């Protein structure tokens, strides 16, 4: 996420397969979860909190 740094931004995009630009991973962060963890990600939570939430959902 942008983390409040100067000139930073966060963008979320979704589309059909092969309709989005394939961009190098070095400047993008991605969050994706399986169907069991749908709704468990909180963009305001820490990485560790999100990992715990997803792990619990996958049990």
pLDDT for residue 28: 55
- Between CA 50 and CA 29 the distance in angstroms is 14
Q: Which residue has the higher pLDDT, 59 or 21?
A: 59
pLDDT per residue as tens digits for the range 2-53 = 566 676 666 667 778 888 777 665 555 567 788 899 899 888 888 889 889 9
Q: Which residue has the higher pLDDT, 56 or 8?
A: 56
Contacts for 28 with CB less than 8 Å, ≥ 6 apart? none
Domain boundaries, the chain: 34-58
Predicted TM-score (pTM) of this structure: 0.49
Please say whether the beta carbons of 33 and 50 come within 8 A. no
């Amino acid at each position: 996420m942008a983390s409040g740094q100067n000139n930073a931004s966060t963008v979320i995009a979704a589309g059909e397969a092969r309709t989005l630009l394939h961009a190098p991973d070095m400047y993008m962060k991605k969050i994706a979860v399986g169907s069991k963890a749908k709704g468990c990600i909180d963009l305001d939570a820490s990485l560790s909190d999100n990992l715990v939430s997803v792990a619990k959902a996958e049990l």
